[in-house]
Amino acid sequence: MKLKINEIFYSIQGEGLQVGVPTIFLRLFGCSLRCSWCDSMYAVEGDDYSEDTVDNILSSIEEIRCKNICITGGEPLDQQEGLVCLVDQLLKKDYKILLETAGYISPMPIFEDPSVLISMDCKCPGSGMVKKTNFSILRSLGLKDQIKFVIKDLTDYEYARNVVLKNNFSAKVIFQPVYGSSLKNLADLTLKDNLDVRVIPQIHKLIWGDIRGV
């Protein structure tokens, strides 16, 4: 069983509910979407990847002495068979897993495990992929999971606000500004509308800037 791998690295989790937590990042290659603000296009198209077995990938992960792992991309759920095999092994070895996915593919049943946090995007208009979001998948997420809106401007904010108000999501909701846009404006708007969401910037970019592998 093989997976297309873009990179494996050790850093802190810079987004969402686990922000600040030391984490191993496994970035899989390939994605069907083309979001305008994507900050990892090197993992979406081109040839910047290697194909490796689940066993070899697991060995590389275990060399890093950390039990928190974020599986990201690209879109990890594009490689379902190999991903399920890897996640099964990780869970057996007591890893805590965060799956980052784009909100148009249903996660497999293995991701319902209590040791897995699903972080699912709801695409805003600024992404250019707003029609790709599957709201039935977002509504199926549980209390342990999170829904992330990446917000570029007022149009994106108003869209995200209306989605939150119209849907009774069980998952926690994250409003994240596109890197370089105003965190203050997003926070002010969220407070004005008294929304039950968390406003969280990309902490890793505040520390290291918009560079790869951190």
**214 belongs to a structural domain:** no
Q: How confident is the model at residue 116 (pLDDT cuts 50, 70, 90)?
A: very high
Look up the pTM and report it: 0.95
**212 belongs to a structural domain:** no
In this predicted model, what pLDDT tens digit does every residue of 118-128 receive, in sequence order? 999 999 999 99
Q: Give the 3-state DSSP-derived string for 156-201, with helices as H, strands as E and coil as C.
A: HHHHHHHHHHHCCCCCEEEEEECCCCCHHHHHHHHHHCCCCCEECC
Q: How confident is the model at residue 39 (pLDDT cuts 50, 70, 90)?
A: confident
Neighbours of 57 (CB within 10 A): 23
- Distance in angstroms (rounded) separating the CA atoms of residues 125 and 50: 33
**210 belongs to a structural domain:** no
**213 belongs to a structural domain:** no
CATH of the domain at 131: 3.20.20.70
**Structural domain count, the chain:** 1
Domain boundaries, position 74: 2-205
- Distance in angstroms (rounded) separating the CA atoms of residues 124 and 154: 11
